[in-house]
Structure 1
Amino acid sequence: MNTVNLTINGRAASAACEPRTHLADFLRDTHNLTGTHIGCEHGVCGACTLLVDGVPTRSCITFAAACDGAEVTTVEGLDNDEIAAELRAAFMREHGLQCGYCTPGMLVSARDVVLRMQDPTEYDIRFIMSGNLCRCTGYVGITRAIQRVIADRRARGIAAIPDGDRAQLGPAGSGNAGAVSANGAASKAAASAAKAPVSSGVPTVRKDDGWKPQTTFAQGFTVAHPVDVVWDFFGRVGEVASCLPGASLAGEPVDGHVEGQIKVKVGPISAEFHGVADIVRDDTSRTGTIEGAGKDKRSNSATRGQIAYAVKEGDKPGETRVDVTIGFTLTGMLAQFSRSGLVQDVANRLISVFVQNLEARLTHQAQGGAPESAPVTAEFDAGSLMSAVILGQIKGFFSRLFRRR
């Protein structure tokens, strides 16, 4: 008997099994995850397809012991996955399922198509889905459902991730994938490449690609400092980033390009987005834009956004008005947060913290102190902010209710 340690649908799991036990049987019999269906048991029909380390895998011909230490996602683990949710709705609309036996494997494979392929033709989809067999539908509804989801996502500005963000080759779940030559023998050059740092998988900012944000809102605030001081401060990107809770830069901007990260906590989910941004400023109009993209590997969430800001004289002497327009798209596990009706309230509170930090730094600077030594709020816990927002909305509801009486 072998003890196999896996992360199954985001949770650590450990169980003993025979070395010959297939992953499908291990999941169904040991963990009661019966959404993984077993059909041919030869890796032909695709009914048992699931994700191992993010790669679609035939679990009926994969030994559980060979996946020790891997991350496994079954169809049950895709309940809150954005792409899978859109596919389920499209499968129902397009009549892409009948008996439903092949559907779990179909959804996993279809999700991979949506994730990786930017603009596939009907032939491309049929070809890549040919490893999943269905005896009921004739595949017409399935193909249409996948086409519909891809078209809808691309129309919303969500681009495909080339190769599904996979940087290595090798057996799914092995954890030891390395570059190999065409004939399967590792060469010295391939071995050197395997030791070299792999791509971080951070999305790049693509100019003029027609991207449109899913969510956009405007906000404005006033600070009690002259407009020239505030505009100069916005030009020091590192100091601006330090005012945003959880944000930090990997270095100073080079030709308007900068790399950095931001840590976000949403309830039990902790995310750390690593990304890049391009910065443009116009000293004449005192306006600027920041376009950025980032990814959190732990939750497999990705984001892209644009911030446009304008700095101008305030209503009172010595004050500055800053108007900000924010647009963003969020995919993956944390996309559930972006679709919430509370997101703008949370963003308003985040901006409020940013303004407090900004005021503290500018005041400290005006008093002769170093801006970086000013006390600021350094952490961002969206979960606690959400709780405060919900409580505020509940109080507002009852206040309005009793005023009517």
Structure 2
Amino acid sequence: MTMIALTVNARDVKASVEPRTHLADFLRESLNLTGTHLGCEHGVCGACTLLLDDVPARSCITYAAACDGARVTTIEGLDDDEITTELRAAFKREHALQCGYCTPGMLISARDLVLRLPASDERSVRVGLSGNLCRCTGYVGIVRAVRAVIDDRRKRGIKPVPGGGRSALGPVGSGYGATASTSNIGTAPTARTEPQHEVNDAMVVADFTPEKVFKDHFTVGYPPERVFDMFGDVARLAACLPGASLTGLPTPERAEGLIRVKLGPISANFRGAARIERDPRNLSGRIVGMGSDQRSRSSTQGEIRYQLVPTEQGAATRVELSVGYTLRGMLAQIAREALVRDLASRLTAEFAGNLERHLSGAGPNGAAEGAQDLNAAALLMGFLRERARKALQYILGR
């Protein structure tokens, strides 16, 4: 179960939900807000449309846990909203509803069009409503009602809001309420503020409790003291990590940098800072970091603990790792735990290889420091090939 805190129709709500619970199911079953209807449950019909941080979103394909910190407005929360009130009157006047099942989602999508379209162009209205399906009316009355409200408001001198209040590109709601406009819904409260992890000189990298922790290890053919010295050289250490680069001059206790990640068509630049702790008495250390990607509105916190253990009578070193992390935002929805673990294992192996080469004086993969992105897709393909190889060995062994 995951504990979430969000604002629903101007009311603070805290609840424990299963990670797989969709926002629509949470609203209907836990909060009894049944005005949000469920139709196709594939994000196609639009019946479940609501406002997430003031922007229309499909609640049937949005996980409730991913909305932690967001502001949610359902059709029930728009009772006193000026635009929705005018739309309801126009829908009634133009005979724009019959069974009414699609109407809540239709009103919310129509509200967005009234808010941002400069004129009541029929094609623009039809395109804007194309994500909301109605099985009864044929759309003629609906389009007429929306166009009438747009015309009336523009004649009254009410100007359109460019972008409908959207302040950034990216998935709806991935900003956790921190950057969305609050001027569009009079009854909406100030959003709960989530840490945005913007990098500045005063940024404090605080301790945290990781949501996920896993352990790994690797061995390099150099004495522990030499490896420990290498771990203390932040610039050389960053050069061993694919996709990592420093954005400022590091100190032994602190570093600021960037990790570039590419997953298929999705690319992210996690910019942040790390706090470095080292204990030369037992050759151990700890790195605590935090960062965010503005494009995907994803943020992460991570902790790496390492212990250097001598092997082969001190000629080699076993590096024991404990890695903990917390991920928020769009990338958290596709980064499943098992996938992260497998990718991290391959990343650790690549880091170990770069470390070995750097200790030998050859440099990481012979490339310039920080020159290559962390290509998660390439790592994933390598992981899948390894899985296929093991499966084939298992079948042939039988």
TM class, shorter-chain normalised?
A: 0.5 to 0.7
| Structure 1: gaps of 5 or more residues | 1-45, 47-81, 118-124, 137-159, 173-198, 366-370
Deviation, 1:337, is 3.8
Cα offsets for 1:156-182 (capped at 9, x unmatched): xxxx99984439x8978xxxxxxxxxx
- TM superposition shift of 1:205: 5.2
Greater RCO (Cα-Cα under 8 Å, separation 6 or more): 2
Asked whether the 8 Å contact 1:97–1:103 carries over to 2, the reply is no
Change (3 A) 1:259 1:252: same
TM-aligned CA deviation for residue 389 of structure 1: 1.3
Which of 193, 217, 221 is equivalent to 1:220? Answer: 217
Instruction: Compare 393-402 and 295-304 and name the one that shifted more.
Output: 393-402
Distance 1:86 1:315 in 2: 53
CA contact (8 A) 2:197 2:290 kept: no
Contact 2:257 2:271 in 1 (8 A): yes
Q: How does 1:149-188 map to 2 (within 5 A)?
A: 164-166=177-179
* 93 and 100 in structure 1: CA distance in 2 versus 1, 3 angstrom threshold: closer
Select the residue among 299, 302, 312 that pairs with 2:299: 302
Matches within 5 A, 1:120-269: 131-133=77-79, 164-166=177-179, 201=198, 207-208=206-207, 211-254=208-251, 256-269=253-266
Task: Choose which of 104, 112, 115 in structure 1 pairs with 2:49.
Answer: 104
- CA displacement at 1:312 relative to structure 2: 2.5
Tell me what 2:68 maps to: 114
- Sort the Cα spacing of 1:166 and 1:216 in 2 relative to 1 into closer, same or farther, 3 A: same
Residue 390 in 1 paired to residue 384 in 2?
Answer: yes
Q: Distance in 2 between matches of 1:106 and 1:165?
A: 15
Residue 364, structure 1, aligned to residue 358, structure 2 = no
State the Cα distance separating 1:271 from its structure 2 match.
Answer: 0.8
Post-superposition CA distance 1:22-57 (Å, at most 9, x none): xxxxxxxxxxxxxxxxxxxxxxxx9xxxxxxxxxxx
- Could you say if the C-alpha distance between residues 315 and 337 of structure 1 is closer, same or farther in structure 2, counting changes exceeding 3 Å? farther
Contact 2:50 2:75 in 1 (8 A): no
Percent identical among aligned pairs is 33
Task: Provide the C-alpha distance between the structure 1 equivalents of 2:52 and 2:178, rounded to a whole number of angstroms.
Answer: 19
Alignment of 1:70-81 (within 5 A): none
- Residue 400 of structure 1 corresponds to which residue in structure 2? 394
Contact 1:205 1:292 in 2 (8 A): no
Conserved 8 A contact 2:354-2:365: no
Distance in 2 separating the partners of 1:373 and 1:353: 9
Q: Distance in 2 between matches of 1:340 and 1:200?
A: 23
The Cα RMSD (Å) is 4.1
Look up the match of 2:143: none
Aligned-residue offset at 1:396: 2.5
Q: By how many angstroms is 1:113 displaced?
A: 7.7
Q: What is the Cα deviation at residue 108 of structure 1?
A: 5.0
Aligned to 1:329, the other structure's residue is in SS state strand
- Of 314, 335, 338, which residue of structure 2 is paired with 1:338? 335
The 1:342–1:83 alpha-carbon spacing in structure 2 relative to 1, beyond 3 Å, is closer
Q: Deviations over 1:62-120 (max 9, x none)?
A: xxxxxxxxxxxxxxxxxxxx999653342254163434358522555598983258xxx
Letter in 1 for 2:388: I
How has the CA–CA distance of structure 1 residues 89 and 289 changed in structure 2, closer, same or farther, with 3 Å as cutoff?
Answer: farther
Determine the structure 2 residue equivalent to 1:88.
Answer: 24
What is the letter of the counterpart of residue 379 of structure 2? L
Q: Secondary structure at the match of 1:322?
A: strand
Please list every run of at least 4 consecutive aligned residues from structure 1 whose deviation after the TM superposition is greater than 6 angstroms: 82-85, 110-113, 160-163, 169-172
Asked whether the equivalents of residues 256 and 274 of structure 2 are also in contact (C-alpha less than 8 Å), the reply is yes
Contact 2:243–2:372, Cα closer than 8 Å, also in 1: yes
TM-score (ref. length: structure 2): 0.55
Give SS of 2:342's match.
helix
Alpha-carbon separation, structure 2, partners of 1:292 and 1:86? 30
Residues 261 and 274, structure 1, Cα contact 8 Å, conserved in 2: yes
Q: TM-score, normalised by structure 1?
A: 0.54
Distance 1:388 1:133, change over 3 A: farther
Structure 1: how far apart are the matches of 2:302 and 2:22? 22
For residues 350 and 359 of structure 1, the distance between their equivalents in structure 2, rounded to whole angstroms, comes to: 14
